[in-house]
Amino acid sequence: MPENNEDRLKAALLSRALGFYGEDVNEEYNVEEDGGERMVRKKITKKYYPPDLSALNILLGKEPEISGMSDGELEAERERLINELRESVRTVGSG
């Protein structure tokens, strides 16, 4: 587990850059006659958050000119950045 705020921020940014799974918790309560509340339903849904190009750019210190890119070019740039980030993570993790 990251020890300081900077490490925590980098870990969160890395998760966002590579994509991650999260849980969405939805709870429903009924009000009892005595004024208390009782949970009647709890639903936990797993959700996939896809890689985020902005987070990749922040991690890699790059801001490519994307305003004129086609959808295909944007997808190719996204894949290139993901691969570059994964390679940098492997390099850091092995050394």
- d(CA 6, CA 9) in angstroms, rounded, equals 5
Query: Alpha helix (H) ranges present in the chain?
Result: 5-18, 53-60, 71-94
Q: Enumerate residue ranges in the chain where pLDDT < 70.
A: 1-2, 62-66, 91-95
Residue that the structure tokens 């980098």 belong to? 10
Distance CA(73)–CA(6), nearest Å, equals 33
Supply the pLDDT for residue 43. 95
List the domain boundaries for the chain: 5-94
The pLDDT score that the predictor gives to residue 63 is 63
Give the pLDDT confidence score for residue 94 in this predicted structure: 58
